[in-house]
């Protein structure tokens, strides 16, 4: 009785394997041998093309896949040329882990280098820099100095402020220009001017309060203390510039954080000594797509992650009954704002007939997805049929005549 039950189980198992192979053949997969099907997933990495080995490496898990995770047949878009069909199915390591993985692997970044866009919010942190400058300090308005003479004690003056017009008041000669001069230059100029009144002035200039522009800058920015300094949030204007205290407008559109840091600090070095500015991206500008036509909830949707066309339609709660998903129109603006458009066939992928649909493209900021209610006869008549016949019917534009 025991032997007969074992035989029945083996027969059932063999019938199941044979039925599985027949099902694969009927489904369009290429026929495979039973020996090949019994190979475990350890053989899959050997079949992965070398160009797919990229940085960052495979996400470490600390567990082995075990014998319960054989390779399965599927489609990898990196294999072959052009769009593939189910006839091109091959062994792929579709699910290397079997213990409830749901996070997915470490992915390549959505973009290798982010460049600032309009309406991005940048945080500039102002940090006091104690490093020695390469150039000699020049006096500025608001600084204070002491003046004394070895030969004439009447010339002694303490805490003389440099006035808004850039001058100081000196005995015998009255107002005297001091701003934009070094201490050495000011001392020499004072000696030359005072020789008309004193035979040997022997002037000495001592700076008491300097770099007042730095204090003015710190008072002008947000007083909230950040990481080692004071911070200021600035929005990138539509003209691509940010308004920085004391240095004015700085063009940052299309620049990386390192490029912005270098440009801003060069500007401040010309105006204020002893300050270093550290920019960071505080908030991305909103990125939106627009879905109209035969969808359940047309409107504007924000892109928070890489999103495909089908995912964008899913954000609009899917297609209405009878929607034409074989001619979905995408309108896109290029870098110079010219209009670029295309028609996509999403039906095959959504029905599972196309495993690697080339029409399943990535969306980007400002894209308009339009699902028409009926087939478009000619590609060049898409705009007229959608806007004149479609959108006008769905969203009437009051007071606007589209037939002008």
Q: Tell me, yes or no, whether 48 lies in a domain.
A: yes
Please tell me the predicted confidence (pLDDT) of residue 279. 93
**Of 233, 253, 283, which marks where a domain is finished?**
283
Q: Residue 142: which of 170, 164, 159, 158 has the closest Cα?
A: 164
**One domain for residues 129 and 260:** yes
**One domain for residues 98 and 232:** no
Domain containing residue 20: 1-31
90 pLDDT above the threshold of 50: yes
**Of 210, 225, 252, which marks where a domain is finished?**
210
C-alpha distance across the termini of the chain, in Å:
89
**One domain for residues 249 and 335:** no
pTM of the model: 0.60
Burial 294-311 (b: 16+ CB within 10 A, else e): bbeebeebebeeebbbbb
pLDDT tens digits along 99-130: 667 777 777 777 788 999 999 999 998 887 76
Q: Tell me, yes or no, whether 404 lies in a domain.
A: no
- Cβ neighbours of residue 147 under 8 Å, at least 6 residues apart? 155, 156, 157, 160, 168, 170, 190, 203, 204, 205, 206
**One domain for residues 374 and 310:** yes
Please tell me the predicted confidence (pLDDT) of residue 250. 95
Q: Tell me, yes or no, whether 332 lies in a domain.
A: yes
Q: Tell me, yes or no, whether 25 lies in a domain.
A: yes
pLDDT tens digits along 266-303: 998 888 877 888 899 999 999 999 999 999 999 999 99
**One domain for residues 276 and 318:** no
Q: Tell me, yes or no, whether 115 lies in a domain.
A: no
Q: Tell me, yes or no, whether 59 lies in a domain.
A: yes
**One domain for residues 249 and 127:** yes
**One domain for residues 48 and 148:** no
Please tell me the predicted confidence (pLDDT) of residue 10. 46
**One domain for residues 196 and 272:** no
**One domain for residues 239 and 126:** yes
Q: 168: exposed, middle or buried (C-beta count within 10 Å: 0-12, 13-18, 19+)?
A: buried
Q: Residue 92: which of 75, 109, 78, 106 has the closest Cα?
A: 75
- Cβ neighbours of residue 106 under 8 Å, at least 6 residues apart? 56, 57, 58, 59
């Amino acid at each position: 009785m025991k032997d007969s039950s074992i035989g029945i189980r083996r027969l059932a198992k063999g019938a199941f394997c044979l039925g599985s192979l027949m099902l694969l053949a009927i489904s369009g997969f290429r026929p495979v041998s039973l020996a090949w099907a019994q190979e475990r997933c350890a053989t899959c990495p050997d079949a992965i093309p070398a160009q797919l080995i990229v940085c960052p490496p495979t996400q470490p898990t600390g567990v082995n896949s075990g014998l319960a995770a054989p390779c399965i047949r599927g489609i990898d878009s990196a294999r072959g040329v052009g769009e593939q069909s189910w006839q091109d199915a091959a062994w792929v390591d579709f699910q290397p882990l079997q213990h409830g993985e749901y996070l997915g692997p470490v992915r390549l970044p959505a973009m290798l280098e982010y460049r600032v866009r309009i309406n991005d919010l940048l945080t500039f942190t102002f940090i006091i820099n104690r490093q020695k400058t390469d150039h000699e300090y020049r006096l500025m308005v608001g600084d204070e100095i002491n003046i004394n003479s070895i030969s004439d004690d009447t010339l002694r003056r303490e805490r003389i402020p440099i006035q808004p017009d850039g001058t100081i008041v000196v005995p015998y000669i009255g107002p005297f220009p001091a701003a934009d001069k070094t201490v050495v230059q000011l001392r020499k100029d004072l000696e030359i001017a005072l020789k008309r009144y004193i035979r040997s002035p022997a002037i000495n200039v001592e700076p008491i309060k300097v770099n007042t522009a730095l204090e003015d800058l710190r008072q002008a920015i947000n007083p909230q203390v950040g990481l080692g300094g004071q911070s200021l949030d600035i929005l990138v204007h539509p003209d691509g510039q940010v308004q920085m205290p004391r240095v004015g407008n700085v063009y940052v559109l299309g620049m990386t954080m390192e490029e912005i840091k270098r440009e801003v600090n060069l500007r401040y070095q010309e105006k204020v000594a002893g300050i270093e500015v550290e920019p960071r991206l505080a908030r991305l500008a909103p990125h939106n797509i627009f879905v109209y036509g035969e969808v359940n909830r047309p409107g504007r949707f924000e892109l928070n992650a890489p999103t495909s066309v089908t995912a964008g339609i899913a954000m609009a709660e899917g297609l209405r009954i009878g929607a034409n998903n074989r001619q979905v129109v995408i309108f896109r603006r290029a870098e110079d704002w010219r209009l670029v458009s295309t028609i996509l066939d999403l039906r095959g992928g959504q029905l599972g007939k196309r495993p690697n649909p080339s029409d399943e493209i990535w969306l980007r900021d400002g894209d308009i997805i339009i699902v028409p209610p009926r087939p478009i006869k000619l590609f060049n008549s898409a705009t007229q049929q959608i806007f004149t016949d479609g959108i006008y019917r769905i969203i009437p534009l009051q007071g606007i005549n589209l037939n002008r």
